[in-house]
Amino acid sequence: MSQKRVLLFTGNGKGKSTAAFGMLARAVGHGMKARVIQFVKAQEGVGEVLFFTRFEEVEWDHYGKGFLPTDPESPMMEKHTQAAEFGFEEALDALESDEFDFVLLDEVCYAASKGIIPLQPLVEAIVDAGDKIIVLTGRNAPQELIDLADTVTEMKMVKHGYEQGLLSQAGVEE
């Protein structure tokens, strides 16, 4: 690893997590060791999990419970916060560890924007991390995360199949 990189994919369009998975493919292609921690998401049988968990270079966990309630006062919120707490500890460990060349925190921007993980310790852990590739995804990225990333893309939805009534499709959305 020659240099530290922090990349962030946000916005309301399709392609945030898939861009991160594409980078993960590149990293594994170069023989790097990768850690993937997913927040919010809870899916097991999706293509990215079926695929990347085949490789011993990739350590993959998700700590999500699915869609967050729109009401932050909802009693359902607790199980989401609790799951995210486990994931957050793992994320801090991965950022600190020398074991991984590539750390993907999927949906971490969204989780932080919803307050189910704390922003400041995350910012500090990214700042303190050594030379590795760090990828952050999720909509509504907090400005503090945008500020510390070297590369930020807003995935802007021009149109989406959902709008035309298309169903979620293996190889596309899952």
42 touching a copy of itself, by CB under 8 A: no
Least distance CB 128 / a copy of itself (angstroms): 19
Positions 90 through 149 that interact with a copy of itself (CB under 8 A) = 101-102, 133, 146, 149
CB contact set of 136 (below 8 Å; sequence gap of 6+): 6, 7, 8, 9, 105, 108, 109, 145, 149
**Contact pick of 20, 68, 105, 125 for a copy of itself (by CB under 8 A):** 20
Query: In this structure, how many other beta carbons lie within 10 angstroms of the beta carbon of residue 164?
Result: 7
Least distance CB 22 / a copy of itself (angstroms): 3
Q: With the CA atoms of 53, 157, 145 and 116 taken in that order, what torsion angle do they form, in degrees rounded to the nearest 10? A: -70
Specify the residue, 119 or 146, whose C-beta has the smaller distance to a copy of itself. 146
Residues present in the chain in total: 174
**Contact pick of 30, 43, 66, 69 for a copy of itself (by CB under 8 A):** 30
Element (H, E) at 22: helix 16-29
Give the range of 21-29, 59-67, 69-77, 120-128 binding a copy of itself by CB under 8 A: 21-29
Specify the residue, 51 or 93, whose C-beta has the smaller distance to a copy of itself. 51
Q: Which amino acid is at 24?
A: L
Q: With the CA atoms of 8, 11, 13 and 15 taken in that order, what torsion angle do they form, in degrees rounded to the nearest 10? A: 10
Both tokens of residue 73? 């006062």
Positions 51 through 80 that interact with a copy of itself (CB under 8 A) = 51-52
Q: Which amino acid is at 72?
A: P
Applying CB under 8 A, the residues found at the interface with a copy of itself are: 2-3, 5, 7, 9, 11, 13-30, 32, 46-52, 101-102, 133, 146, 149-161, 164, 166-167, 169-172, 174
